[in-house]
Amino acid sequence: MSSIVTDQGVVHYEAYGRGNPVVLLHGWLGSWGCWLGTMEALAATHRVYALDFWGFGESDKRRESYTIADFVALADQFMERLGIQRAPVIGHSMGGYAIAAAACRRRSWSVRARSQSWT
């Protein structure tokens, strides 16, 4: 179990592999664990990070707000503290909303949108 301390509290994350970084953002009611299979697949060629948003998993839950802007700020601080200057950021559900919200203001996030139908 890994964690960092940000301006707003403790953030839990897990990291697998070696190589260029990839950051994974989970969806509503999820945690880093929803990315385990993806992390294992990417670990052969990348350093893969999956964090728990505020209020989820093992990250701090003592907050007054849990907005998408809060999650964007969390991901920004996370990348800054780990020295990740540029990386693909992949999101599921709520994590995808955070990526969309950050797309224009955080140039170091490699943003690509893709819609997937599961029917």
Q: Give the start-to-end residue ranges of the domains of the chain.
A: 2-110
Distance CA 30, CA 103 (A): 22
Residues 49-83 have pLDDT tens digits of 999 999 999 999 988 899 999 999 999 899 999 99
Asked if the model's pLDDT at residue 27 lies above 80, the reply is: yes
Cα distance between residue 107 and residue 50, in whole Å: 20
The whole-model pTM stands at 0.88
CATH of 2-110, one of 3.40.980.10, 3.40.30.10, 3.30.450.90, 3.40.50.1820: 3.40.50.1820
End-to-end CA, the chain = 36
Task: Compute and round to an integer the Cα radius of gyration of the chain.
Answer: 13
Indicate whether 45 pLDDT > 70: yes
Q: Give the per-residue pLDDT at 110.
A: 58
> Is the separation of the CB atoms in 55 and 66 below 8 Å?
yes
Nearest-angstrom CA–CA distance, 33 and 116? 21
